[in-house]
Amino acid sequence: MANATSPWFGGGSDLATWIIAISILISTILSIFAFLGVAQGFQLRIWKAQIESKLRILESYRDEVRDEVRKRLEKLGARNVEEVLSTALDYFVISPVSIEPTDIIKRLERVLRTEEERLEALVARSLGSRADEVVIKNAVTLLAIANALNILYKYIRHILLTGIKTRNALLVAQLWMLLPFYMRIAKAYYDASKVIAKGIPIGDAAGPLAAYKLMRMLPRIEGPIEITKDTIYSIHEYENRRIIVVKAKGPGSTVGRPGEAVEKIVETLSPSSIASIITIDAALKMEGEPTGSIAEGTGVAMGDPGPEKIRIERIAVRHKIPLYAIAIKMGLEEAITAIKKEIVEGVEKAVEHAKRLIIEETRPGDTIIVVGVGNTLGVAQ
């Protein structure tokens, strides 16, 4: 027979008292820890350990891309490879003064073109007489990826060390919460380096690919002609209309200068004969949207910082030319990694949509400019 004095019998109220007392004691200890910052310090160490583990992954991405560029340049017989890598990895661009907006676009254009010319010259000098245009373009793009990974790594490390140094748990917590997004970007860049090294078209080549398909599909009158640096156009006939197709010069990794090309074409032709300008470009899709879906809009479809896009807008405003845009939807990772089947199918839809738009919005005898915007890696003309 069980002991009648057991807490499971008449002493049940004593057990409840002990449970309440222990709970109060634990709560008091935790409150003291919280007041003294012990709990916060413990959480800070957890966040620090998790961020540092991701930093090691990010560092490995950066180092692998850097080593890939080094191997490619050395294989091509380049000189001063370490100097090239050192310059490119820490290369930076200073934005022009924006407090005084006069000519800010021209100033920004000059800054961006100086960056492009400097890096291309750096690689060309290293390769010497072995320099090949496509090789240079692809190498510069790989260096740009290594630069982006290096800057991202340094930024995350800086925020982490600053938070630890100042014991700012909120700063570290914010970094920890944003870390999955940063790592997603880093992984996309890392994967892109493998594709670019092989010269495989990426998702962002959707616009140039659409232009290429139009060039091959429509009867050609003239071209291709290089109208400005890394940018070509050709003239075609479609339903008694003159179609001028513009794209970056492939198959090297470049976006060309589509804005300057369109501006020059309009200025050399009779502007009154140009019925519309149609731009086709890749666009970031929202989560839930299918990859390769297309959308039509108004304006210039171009992910340009400003100089190229504004050239088209200004020439269109000056001569009252309608601007139509066709977007091919894709995710961030899909835009900079190997082109998917769904995107190629989207390109086919975009081409048909452009042809339909030409018929619906223009008349026989009109001239229409179609611009395939994006990186023409792996896409010729």
Q: What's the pLDDT tens digit per position in 55-94?
A: 999 999 999 999 988 988 888 888 888 888 989 999 998 8
pLDDT at 236 over 50: yes
Confidence of residue 11 (pLDDT cuts 50, 70, 90): low
- CA of 250: how far to CAs of 146, 163, 229, 327, in Å? 22, 46, 12, 21
Please name the residue that has the structure tokens 């000056």. 318
DSSP class of 129:
G
Extract the tokens encoding 331: 């995710």
Mean pLDDT of the 193-206 span: 90
Task: Check residues 324 and 25 and name the one with the higher pLDDT.
Answer: 324
The percent of residues above 90 in pLDDT, for the chain, comes to 57
CATH (residue range 203-372): 3.40.50.1470
Task: Check residues 340 and 132 and name the one with the higher pLDDT.
Answer: 340
Using one digit for the tens of pLDDT, what is the confidence trace for 168-197?
A: 888 888 999 999 999 999 999 999 998 888
User: How far apart (Å, rounded) are the C-alpha atoms in residues 194 and 237?
Assistant: 39
**pTM of full prediction above 0.85:** no
- From-to residues of CATH 3.40.50.1470 in the chain: 203-372
pLDDT at 9 over 70: no
Residues 6 or more apart in contact with residue 40 via CB below 8 angstroms: 34, 169
Rounded to a whole number of angstroms, the CA Rg of the chain reads: 29
Nearest 5°: the CA angle 103, 105, 106 is 65
Amino acid symbol at 340? K
pLDDT in the model for residue 1: 46
Q: Are 66 and 72 in contact (CB under 8 A)?
A: no
User: How far apart (Å, rounded) are the C-alpha atoms in residues 72 and 111?
Assistant: 28
Q: Are 68 and 142 in contact (CB under 8 A)?
A: yes
Q: Are 66 and 85 in contact (CB under 8 A)?
A: yes
Using one digit for the tens of pLDDT, what is the confidence trace for 214-227?
A: 999 999 998 799 99
